């Protein structure tokens, strides 16, 4: 849709790791676009989720959480998060209401306020918190930065999300749609495939292995019968990690592959053949090429 009546703009979702940014993006778009796991720092790149409401097209930017970076990969992730805020017409500061006010929330709010963007406060996970605690929390955070609106939602149950959605549809600037009406994301299928495999690694493997792994799609071919043949490689930074990923007799990697394949089949709406390999690559998280392959800009 275009012309004078339509509206379109970018809304960045900013917050500490685990606040529920990816869950909120998926809830608002009604689709599984960004991977979600109980572990912090699952989202590495900037992910765009698109929804239509009335005459508005809202372009939601999910970002990696903001945290103190150590590795080159971490620095690229945090830069992508702030980059998401920079390009946005409006920023949502998403706060886990259960965790409440923290040093991390304080620092992000201060920095976000300094960008001079229009911003709203969104308290998430209200399903886990007693109602009377929400208002004082909102007031405390509002002392640091001035918010156009405050929303209280549960990205998990959908509580309050319609109200937020309606607000966003009215808040984005007037202008033509920037993406085709049917698009839900700008994430290429190759990257989506790698992300879904990475999600299974986060879900199925404990401790530091997921953080020391990255997944790249090496080939993505449409077959004559309509199915997709996907080959992906999992890079691990440590020798011991390869053995953990493969598991006794290859059971773990088979399970990761089987679940990722089912998930991908449903997302891509076609039959999927998925082939996974694990490769040791010490120091991949300092390598420019690997960081770029994860959909990030490597600035140094
Ligand atoms: N109870 C509850 N859990 C939530 C809610 N939103 C997200 N979560 C959970 O919080 C964890 C982190 O969510 P995620 O979206 O990956 O957070 P992100 O790191 O900010 O992107 C996951 O286990 C989610 O299922 C919510 O509204 N209520
Ligand atoms: Mg995330």
Q: Which residues of 147-158 are buried (b: 16+ CB within 10 A; e: fewer)?
A: beebbbbbbbee
Q: Which CATH architecture has domain 7-171?
A: 3-Layer(aba) Sandwich (3.40)
Largest CA distance in the chain: 62
Question: Which is nearest to 240 in space by CA: 214, 208, 215?
Answer: 208
In this structure, which residue's CA is closest to atom 11 in ligand 1?
A: 38
So where are the chain's domains? 7-171, 189-293
Tell me which fold the domain 189-293 belongs to: GMP Synthetase; Chain A, domain 3 (3.30.300)
* Token duo for residue 86: 């920079």
In this structure, which residue's CA is closest to atom 22 in ligand 1?
A: 38
Residue 102: the pLDDT is 93
In this structure, which residue's CA is closest to atom 16 in ligand 1?
A: 36
Q: Which ligand is nearest to the CA of 13?
A: 1
Distance, CA 62 to ligand 2 centroid (Å)? 7
pLDDT truncated to tens, each residue of the chain (300 aa)? Answer: 545 589 999 999 999 999 999 999 999 998 888 878 778 778 777 788 999 999 999 999 988 888 888 888 888 888 887 877 777 999 999 999 999 999 999 999 999 999 888 999 999 999 999 999 999 999 999 999 999 999 999 999 999 999 999 999 999 999 999 999 888 888 888 888 999 999 999 999 987 899 999 999 999 999 999 999 999 999 999 888 999 999 999 999 999 999 999 999 998 889 999 999 999 999 999 998 888 888 887 765
pTM equals 0.85
Distance, CA 280 to ligand 1 centroid (Å)? 31
In this structure, which residue's CA is closest to atom 14 in ligand 1?
A: 20
Distance, CA 162 to ligand 2 centroid (Å)? 21
Show the CA angle centred on residue 105, arms to residues 100 and 109, nearest 5°: 130
Q: Is the CB of 42 under 6 A from ligand 1?
A: yes
């Amino acid at each position: 849709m275009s012309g004078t009546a339509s509206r379109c703009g970018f809304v960045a979702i900013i917050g500490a790791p685990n606040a529920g940014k990816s869950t909120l993006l998926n809830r608002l778009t009604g689709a599984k676009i960004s991977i979600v796991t109980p572990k912090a720092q699952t989202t590495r790149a900037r992910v765009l989720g698109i929804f239509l409401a009335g005459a508005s097209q809202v372009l939601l930017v999910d970002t990696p959480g903001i945290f103190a970076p150590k590795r080159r990969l971490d620095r690229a992730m945090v830069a992508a998060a702030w980059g998401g805020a920079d390009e946005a017409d409006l920023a949502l500061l998403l706060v886990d209401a259960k965790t409440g006010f923290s040093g991390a929330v304080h620092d992000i709010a201060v920095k976000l306020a300094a960008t001079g963007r229009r911003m709203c406060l969104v308290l998430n996970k209200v399903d886990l918190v007693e109602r009377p605690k929400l208002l004082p929390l909102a007031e405390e955070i509002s002392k640091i930065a001035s918010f156009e609106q405050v929303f209280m939602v549960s990205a998990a149950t959908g509580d309050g999300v319609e109200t937020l959605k309606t607000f966003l549809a009215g808040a984005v600037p007037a202008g033509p749609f920037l993406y085709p009406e049917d698009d839900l994301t700008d994430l290429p299928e190759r990257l989506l495939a790698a992300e879904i495999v990475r999600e299974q690694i986060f879900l199925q493997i404990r401790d530091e292995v997921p953080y020391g792994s990255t997944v790249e799609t090496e080939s993505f071919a449409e077959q004559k019968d309509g199915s997709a043949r996907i080959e992906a490689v999992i890079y691990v930074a440590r020798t011991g990690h390869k053995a953990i990923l493969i598991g006794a007799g290859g059971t773990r990697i088979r399970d990761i592959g089987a679940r990722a394949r089912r998930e991908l089949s449903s997302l891509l709406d076609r039959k999927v053949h998925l082939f996974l390999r694990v490769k040791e690559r010490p120091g991949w998280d300092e390598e420019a090429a690997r960081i770029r392959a994860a959909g990030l800009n490597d600035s140094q």
